[in-house]
Each structure stands twice: as C-alpha cells, then as structure tokens.
Amino acid sequence: RRNSPYHRRLIFEEFFLLELILALRRVQGRALKGVRFETADRVRQQVKKILPFHPTSAQKRVLKEIVDDLKAPYPMTRLMQGDVGSGKTIVAFEAIVIAVENGYQAALMAPTEILAEQHFINAKRILGMLNYQVGVVRRGIRKAEKLALLESIASGEVQVVIGTHAVIEEHTVFKK
C-alpha cells in the first residue's frame, strides 16, 4: 500500500531533505557579495519610458520584489513564472533598464532560438527608445559578424544581450 505509515515517512523525509537543501543554498547565496543597484527617480523615469501599457498589479508586485532583490547586497536568484501573454517580458525589460542605468550590462536567456529572436526584436523596439545597444547571440550568424558582436559585448558597447544558453558560454564575455 502506498499510503502506509512507511510510505508517508519516506515521502516526508524526501520533502524535508529537499527543503533543507534549498534553505542551505539560500543561506549560502546570501553570504555571497553582490552588486547593489540604485533605483532613484532617474532610474524610475527610464523604466516608465519603456512601458507600452499600464502594468497590472501582479506585474507591479513582481517588479517590486525584483527591485528589492536588486537593492540587496547579495546576488538575486529569481524565477519568474506566468502564463503566455501575462507580461513576463516587459517585467524582465524593466529589470534590464535598472541594470543598464546602474552602468551594467544585462542578458536575457530564452529557451529556444525562435523565442530569443522574438525577444531581440521586442528589445530593440522597446529598449531602443532609451538608445540601448541590443545584440543577439544565436546560431546562424556569420563568423565575422559573431566575432564583431562578441567584441562589442566584451567592450561594453552592447548593453543588452539576448540569446539562448550561448549567452552563458565561455566565449561570451561581458565587460560589466
């Protein structure tokens, strides 16, 4: 039987150990030194400039949580989850604006090349209003073009990088 006291005990132990591991990772992550981002009026005005619509209460809540994390002295670890069309991308772009306005580069990693390309097109349109340089790291670009892009990322000229897992590979080096 699967709901015997023995099974329930094993299930409890597995969940307990998983929660313990996650709690230890959280404590270890908070011990790491991170970068504190400022969100003064100037940064908030830049964020407002990119909004194509009035954000929902859920988007405002998530952005506030992200801002609180970005102000903390340790690295942010966050997963944003939501239905298709719920506004995850615009919230990510708002966080990108905060990073860039604080003098850093930002990367947005998408699970597929098609989605990375869509994000790239949207980023150029939305973040282009702020004159940010946006690049996309993907397969299918010529070697010379890719080398030029990687140099632009390494020099800091490209402030926002969109791509698949290629954005975290060794050959993609960020200035800041």
CB of 134 closer than 8 Å to CB of 106:
no
pLDDT tens per residue across span 13-65: 999 999 999 889 888 877 888 888 988 899 988 998 888 788 889 899 999 99
106 by DSSP, 3-state: which? strand
The whole model's pTM is what? 0.80
Here the tokens at position 141 are 């670009």
- Bigger pLDDT: 141 or 96? 96
pLDDT tens per residue across span 109-144: 999 999 999 999 999 999 988 999 999 998 778 889
Classify residue 164 by its DSSP letter: S
What's the mean pLDDT in 102-107? Answer: 95
Specify the pLDDT at position 52.
Answer: 79
pLDDT tens per residue across span 63-90: 999 999 999 888 888 888 888 888 899 9
Specify the pLDDT at position 1.
Answer: 66
Here the tokens at position 106 are 């930002």
Q: Which residues pair with 160 in a beta bridge?
A: 106, 134
Output the average pLDDT for the chain: 90
The model's confidence at residue 162, banded by pLDDT at 50, 70 and 90, is: very high
Q: Which amino acid, residue 53? A: F
Q: Which residue has the tokens 């708002």?
A: 94
What's the mean pLDDT in 89-99? Answer: 93
What's the 3-state SS for 20-82? HHHHHHHHHHHHCCCCCCCCCHHHHHHHHHCCCCCCCHHHHHHHHHHHHHHHCCCCCCCCCCC
